[in-house]
Structure 1
């Protein structure tokens, strides 16, 4: 195997395009993309596995020539290694960063391993460099991959995977089982003996390369061949891309058994990304370019096919703003396709940036046949080696990732909305009404006259047997005497009914995963639509489809308190901050406020008050208001509940409510869900509409603050905010996180300050029934219901579930964390309540 450097070839390649910046489609000079060099080959290198590292790039030249060029300074002298007799089909660099740097190339005749430093030294000495042949006549090789220790090379030849040893040029293992050509293979980073492969048979397989046995094989995933493969070490997930532009994400965690996490249609993500840019004013129409169309029907067909050619890691840790991106995942992927490059977030399954080759008119390649991408974290640069799909050009692009992200970032992200109030209530704010009225709980027409004397008349009682007035008792001689019989170190006696203690929530306690108790909410099966703990964690309220609202003890022991009066299924239930009142809204269009202690109705809002039925309702602004949605409007009501008991005039309603302010959803669509914080003062109200949007209202300004369009593929049925707990402390940024739930579209975690989806949870089946979700008091976990009779618990830093809670008898429709103890309550469609405790 020899290496020759042709002088004529060097002179020809030196006459390449110089390094230059290109103009974007808006006519301005951009420093996003720079073409480092372009090479014209005699044969097409389309559909060839290319290689790109921190120092060098390698590609086939004129078919059987292996060209190695410097990525740092392309004008340096390059090497052309000759050793293959047939066209090179795959190239791969070793994993070592420092010398010796090894390279493997494959064709139908040979698989050759090259030591680049040795080759360079032999050329300087005037000798002929030689490579090591590790395989002969293996057939067409589509992919090469080095083992983590660079001692072996996995060769995808036809339907087989051959593990070739480098030191002794032997076949270490031969893996057979795929029904089509193997297109990509990867070594598992945390299990060196495990290999994962994908094939044109549309499945992936997991192998044990030591024994040569098959560990797992998937079902047929799609109708198109799988082309690329990537294993993420941080999230322990497998990502594979296919020829129709779909990404399949699977969990490689030990307990998940290769469960599918998500299936992402990259074409739909590209369309939604373009639509967001249009709404942000960054472009006129999705995929619109003012440049004249220079591509023909071949490029249009390539754009329609949209194959995922390569997957490579992309680190955004040094680019994202740490103050703004509290939970933003820097774990992203470069996706190389025929039409362009995409930055894909593995946490939210959304696109962070899009770069189309055709938007840069001076680029030599507009449709790629193959590509290799490598990121440089320190310099915020990425290198992309491209080959033309329909031509014979090979080009190296340098991409400024920081500038690319900045140019496509929505300007709305700089508004810095926050749930925590940063200013006082304005005089023009509808919330100012509540601050003025706090000094007087009754309207002006019902104010009592000022007392003329501080001494009130009392009836005299002269009979010695009656002591109600106190006049017959002797005066007390001792005004104060300390207790001397204390035996419990200042603790209250067990006979005292108010023995509840406020103890800080232990963050180190394990998750409540052990089923402790299960009770039936009603004698007859009735779906439980909503559950919520009181602020002190002592009581659990639930709304049922049989028109009842129940309040259980937190341990689900004893008989519950029953609140009846609705004529329809209870759709929402809410505790007041002082835990004295319970609010319930039902499908009969009425809203009722109950006295928890007296177990009676305290306030009633009928159907005649609103034009449409009440969809959601809750207490707001530290019990200062009632916030509800009716149709397309959100109403803010000031209310007063009379606590004086008059046995003679009990029939007379002294409690009242009156509207203060109302806001309409943008577009006039009906509100499907509503959420606001009541545990502390906050001016922000979150709403979801029938048109799949999430709208943020600022009640301090009395207007709409932001709109998140197409938050889900279906209307949101619940907005769940991280409201924290009085027993646990969280970072202030954590309160800006909220969840949205949609049937068939999983859970999405949003950051209010950036209006971005930070993470997507899709491990639980939810296709028909609306299933609820809840934050843990510590803010580290998310629980949700599912239709497979399980409840799922996710960690905030992972898209795959950490626990799957069994023991349910039907679909889990509601979940609630106890704010004071590690307890999780779940509710099912057949009317059962389950209490999970920490083991």
Structure 2
């Protein structure tokens, strides 16, 4: 199909071309990107997806909102129409006052006017999504329904856009005056007005499921009271329980001296190098280069077995991974030495999670069981069997600063209160003293199965993010104990991973950055969302992922995103660009998982054939 229009955006340094078949081709003009193609967008599919979000559930709706009346016939008629791209023009939404365009983030206002034969579109150059659709047929007084040519001018005195149209089948000319702020506001859902934040901004309500843990802590007695009570119970009893008392040997001859320690060594109060804490970490340096150099590659198991998930501990010392051969392994952060093995599952381990204090490791598998392990003793501390879950556990993690266990099974998200007994009784070690009990069960709207779940455990947060089989995202507020918002049509396929920007204890980020999260779907790339606006802020394109779910991760500083791909490479994106900045080679199979070290410039990747790679900064 012939090219009909061309546009160069100086801010994002992108070249956009429009074709007669409604295809948009976006290229990067940055030299470091080698002028590669960033994305190919089908305008017809984007318009259909935009209408589906508004008609079925809205771009972001409240769960109790009623559905809009069905306009399937009209939408199908418009979907079948062709959208040749007649003109492309700038649409800078940053010129609109914040009071009129508060639902858009300041970083996501670079848009594009697209003039077609059937209507006008506002296209976002970061998320590659339509912000607004304006059909010529919607204007009752407009005699032109099919345009032969058009041109748009947006930088006017009154911040309005002017569109000049010519008819395709007649000698008619029309001029449209459009207010972009009113156009965008009229085509968004009222649900986006609510304010959601990952950081807890209020105290826990007495009716909240999270209040269960706080109330229990207040009701428990302090340890000092328990000890004093124990002493008083045995206060007036004899110290020995027989008549003969063994002599202390005070009057006997002294023993021969076999060893005399050296006590006159001066070390100026300094500890030897052997006794120094080798795990001491400095603050994460933001100026450090990206870890792009392959430093080490090891096999996770003697026989090839897919690595399903990887996660660093909070202090960056160890790396845990779950394998398809039913094992969970814990490596040293440098991938040296023999890993600790945690065995007991009867299915592929699809989720591993470290506790906040790094004492416990949680693992969930396809055998419908969940286990919590003692990392130091490498033994089972808590077991949740098949009788508690009707379907396999898709996601599981510690939550609320290790106060709860959060998991998804089927269409439910379960919040469990748990207790791990640390007292070691060798006589009755068979007796399970650790326990767990459900506190809250939440189901997704529509009763669909949960495909992914994510929440923050490094600080107190009331927000839980979930993804459903019907391609929706749902936000739960556990302080209220109900659903807070639903995002319909988040991807063209079900989301298999939600990754939040959780930061690190070794680096400081802005508080607003914790509201960003990633979603990944097979064949539909990576999308960056903002919880404050509940909108897709950017789409990352360039890594092939058409058949197998590949993982993604934020860097500790929050400036980069890494993800796996099917072409035996790992890709690194900058937050301000939709195309990748680095392509990491050295893998032997599909890269299934990635993880940034929270304390150092290190990136660990996992492959489908059971290999682990460690990338270091050059």
Provide TM-score, normalisation by structure 1. 0.66
- What is the rounded CA distance, in whole Å, between the counterparts of 1:715 and 1:474 in structure 2? 82
Structure 2 vs 1, CA of residues 291 and 653 (structure 1 numbering), >3 Å: closer, same or farther?
closer
Contact kept in structure 2, 1:442 and 1:640, CA below 8 Å: no
Following TM superposition, by how much is the alpha carbon of 1:437 offset from its aligned partner in structure 2, in angstroms?
Answer: 1.8
Q: CA deviation digits over 1:65-97, x for unaligned, max 9?
A: xxxxxxxxxxxxxxxxxxxxxxxxxxxxxxxxx
- What SS is found at the alignment partner of 2:613? strand
Which structure has the bigger radius of gyration? 1
Contact 1:669–1:691 (Cα < 8 Å) also in 2: yes
The question of whether the paired residues in 2 share the 8 Å contact of 1:460 and 1:469 is answered with no
Give 1:256 deviation, angstroms: 4.0
Q: Secondary structure at the match of 1:288?
A: coil
Q: Root-mean-square deviation (CA), in Å?
A: 5.2
Deviation at 1:378, TM superposition (A): 6.3
Q: Is the Cα contact below 8 Å between 1:271 and 1:286 reproduced in 2?
A: no
Shift of residue 308 of structure 1? 0.8
Change (3 A) 1:693 1:486: farther
Cα distance in 2 for residues equivalent to 1:724 and 1:487: 43
1:347 equivalent among 113, 121, 126: 126
| 2:63–2:485 CA contact under 8 A, matched in 1 | no
Query: C-alpha deviations, 1:262-307, integer Å up to 9, x for none?
Result: 2222122212222333356799999999999999999989971211
Which structure would you say has the larger RCO, counting Cα contacts within 8 Å and 6 or more residues apart?
2
Kept in 2: contact 1:249–1:261 (CA 8 A): yes
Deviations 1:35-87 (A, max 9, x none): xxxxxxxxxxxxxxxxxxxxxxxxxxxxxxxxxxxxxxxxxxxxxxxxxxxxx
**Once structures 1 and 2 are overlaid, which stretch shifts more, 278-287 or 527-536?**
278-287
CA contact (8 A) 1:673 1:689 kept: yes
Residues 462, 472 of structure 1: 8 Å contact kept: no
In structure 2, the residue matched to 1:285 is: 62
SS of equivalent residue, structure 1 residue 704: strand
Instruction: Give the Cα separation in 2 of the matches to 1:674 and 1:284.
Output: 20
- The Cα of 1:474 is off from its aligned counterpart by 16
CA distance in 1, matches of 2:35, 2:245: 79
Mean Cα deviation higher: 279-288 or 603-612: 279-288
Report the CA distance shift for 1:799/1:789 in structure 2 as closer, same or farther (over 3 A). Answer: same
Query: Structure 1: 5+ residue runs without aligned partners?
Result: 1-223
The residue aligned with 1:236 is 13
Alignment check: 8 A CA contact 1:669 1:689 kept: yes
Q: Deviations over 1:100-150 (max 9, x none)?
A: xxxxxxxxxxxxxxxxxxxxxxxxxxxxxxxxxxxxxxxxxxxxxxxxxxx
Distance 1:656 1:281 in 2: 42
TM-aligned CA distance change 1:228 to 1:393, over 3 Å: same
- Using the TM superposition, give the Cα deviation of residue 373 of structure 1 relative to its aligned residue in structure 2, in angstroms: 1.2
Structure 2 CA distance for partners of 1:432 and 1:384, relative to 1, 3 Å: same
Structure 1 residues 282, 516: CA separation in 2 closer, same or farther (over 3 Å shift)? closer
Residues 420/283 of structure 1: CA separation in 2 closer, same or farther (3 Å cut): closer
| Deviation per residue, 1:384-406 (Å, 9 max, x gap) | 22111111112232222222222
Alpha-carbon deviation of 1:652? 0.9
Alignment deviations for residues 331-356 of structure 1 (CA, whole Å, 9 cap, x no partner):
21110001111110011011111222
CA contact (8 A) 1:571 1:616 kept: yes
> CA 1:802–1:484 in structure 2 vs 1: closer, same or farther (change >3 Å)?
farther
Would the alpha carbon gap of residues 744 and 779 (structure 1) be closer, same or farther in structure 2, given more than 3 Å must change? same
Contact 1:274 1:287 in 2 (8 A): no
- C-alpha contact (below 8 Å) 1:461/1:471 kept by paired residues: no
Q: 1:624-666 CA deviation, whole Å, 9 max, x = no partner?
A: 0000111100111000000011111111111110111100111
Going from structure 1 to structure 2, the CA distance change for 1:636 and 1:378 (only over 3 Å counts) comes to farther
**In the superposition, relative to structure 1, how do residues 592 and 799 fare at CA in structure 2: closer, same or farther (>3 Å)?**
same
Cα distance change, pair 311–583 in 1 and its aligned pair in 2 (3 A): same
Q: Deviation string for 1:809-832 (max 9, x for gaps)?
A: 111000000001111000001111
Match of 1:474 among 247, 253, 260: 253
Q: Deviations over 1:298-340 (max 9, x none)?
A: 9989971211111111111132749997994222111000111
Deviation at 1:232, TM superposition (A): 2.4
The structural deviation recorded for 1:499 is 3.6
Flag the 1:513–1:406 CA change in 2: closer, same or farther, 3 A: same
Rate the CA distance shift 1:579–1:401 in 2: closer, same or farther, 3 A. same
Q: 1:385 to 1:302 in 2, by over 3 A?
A: farther
Structure 1 distance, partners of 2:307, 2:68, is 58
Q: Does 1:784 align with 2:549?
A: no
Question: How far is the alpha carbon of 1:501 from its aligned partner?
Answer: 1.8
- Greater mean deviation of Cα atoms: 295-304 or 477-486: 477-486
Q: What is the deviation of 1:454?
A: 8.8
- Find 1:373's aligned residue among 149, 152, 159: 152
Residues 238 and 742 of structure 1, relative CA distance in 2, 3 Å threshold: same
Kindly tell me: are residues 819 and 455 of structure 1, through their superposed partners in 2, closer, same or farther at Cα, counting changes over 3 Å? farther
| Greater mean alpha carbon deviation, residues 491-500 or residues 679-688 | 491-500
Deviation at 1:580, TM superposition (A): 0.2
| 8 A Cα contact 2:605 2:614, kept in partner | yes
In 1, the alpha carbon distance for the partners of 2:300 and 2:67 equals: 63
Query: Aligned residues, how many?
Result: 616
Deviation at 1:523, TM superposition (A): 0.9
What's the TM-score once normalised by structure 2's chain length?
A: 0.89
Go from structure 1 to structure 2 and tell me whether the alpha carbon gap of 1:283 and 1:487 turns closer, same or farther (over 3 Å shift).
closer
State the distance in 2 between where 1:395 and 1:609 align: 66
Change in CA separation of 1:294 and 1:742 when aligned onto 2, cut-off 3 Å: closer
- Cα-to-partner distance string for 1:453-472 (whole Å, 9 max, x where unaligned): 29879997999999999999
Which sits farther off after the overlay, 385-394 or 498-507? 498-507
- Give a deviation string over 1:700-733, Cα, whole Å, max 9, x none: 1000000111110111000000011001111111
Query: In structure 1, which of residues 731, 746, 752 is the aligned counterpart of residue 525 of structure 2?
Result: 746
Alignment match, 1:561? 340
Unpaired segments ≥5 residues, structure 2: none
The answer to whether the 8 Å contact 1:612/1:630 transfers is yes
- Mapped contact 1:676–1:721 kept (Cα < 8 A): yes
**Residues 681 and 728 from structure 1, CA distance in 2 versus in 1: closer, same or farther, beyond 3 angstroms?**
same
Do the aligned partners of residues 474 and 430 (structure 1) sit closer, same or farther apart at CA in structure 2, a change above 3 Å counting?
farther
Shift of 1:781: 0.5
Deviation of the 1:358 alpha carbon? 1.8
Instruction: Give the Cα–Cα distance (whole angstroms) in 2 for the partners of residues 354 and 519 of structure 1.
Output: 52
Shift of 1:622: 0.4
Q: Is the 8 A contact 1:327 1:758 kept in 2?
A: no
